[in-house]
Chain A
Amino acid sequence: MRFLIILSVLLLTGCITPPVKRNFPDVPKELMEKCPELKETENTESLSKVLTVIVDNYSEYHKCKIKVDSWADWYKSQKEIFESVK
């Protein structure tokens, strides 16, 4: 009788195991790259050389901002899609 109960429980467990598998969406690999460190200026008296580095750093900031914004968009969109499946 005990074995019968155990067997029934096993069978019922098999019945209730959901076979539908759901994969977590992948993030575009471009967004997975880390933002680089800011460049440092060499020791110089030339303002133009310093400005060159500053311009590069500003540019890196903008790229990094785009990346963070893209992550936020990605999360928002994927969450909406995920929650639409019930």
Chain B
Amino acid sequence: MNSFLMSFVPIEWITTAIHSIFIFGVVGLIVGSFASKIPVINAYGTIIKAIAGILLIFGLFAEGYNYASKDWITKSKEYEEKIRIAEEKSGKVNEVIKHVFVDKVKVVETERVVIQEKLKDVSVKIDSQCKITTDTVDILNQAARGKK
């Protein structure tokens, strides 16, 4: 409730209002107690005491609630900060992993090109010394396809 209110009203205003209600409650109870003992105004004293009593109860509750809310908001902000740092770290880790991955793939690709070039150089020699059968190609393709 407090955090909902705080999105519209500054927290200092709410704190001041709560303190005021609490102080009015205490002062009202004292004044009402005195006034109820004076014969001419004792009826007003009872009314003041009743109103002050309600203010005191509400003020006391609000003081406690406000204190708990402040504590909770502080913890919430600390948690938000931790999350912000974690997200920053997470982003950096992502960048590192991405770069390492791209670099390693480049190395593999370069190596592939080098091997293919070597193969081109010796292809005539290889093909002149060795011929393969259709069965060989079939077996190789079967292995490449895998079982699906």
B127 touches A46 (CB 8 A): yes
B119 touches A52 (CB 8 A): yes
B126 touches A47 (CB 8 A): yes
A19 touches B112 (CB 8 A): no
**What secondary structure prevails in chain A residues at the interface with B?**
helix
Q: Chain B: which residue is nearest A38 at the CB level? A: B144
The size bracket of the interface on A is 35 or more
Within 8 A of B (CB), among A26-54: 26-28, 30-31, 38-48, 50-54
A77 touches B86 (CB 8 A): no
List residues of chain B with CB within 8 A of the CB of A67.
Answer: 101
The size bracket of the interface on B is 35 or more
How distant is B146 from chain A, measured CB to nearest CB, in Å? 8
Q: Chain A: which residue is nearest B73 at the CB level? A: A19
Binding site for A on B (CB under 8 A): 1-4, 69, 76, 79-80, 82-83, 86-87, 89-91, 93-94, 97-98, 100-102, 104-105, 108-109, 111-112, 115-116, 119-120, 122-123, 126-127, 130-134, 136-137, 140-141, 144-146
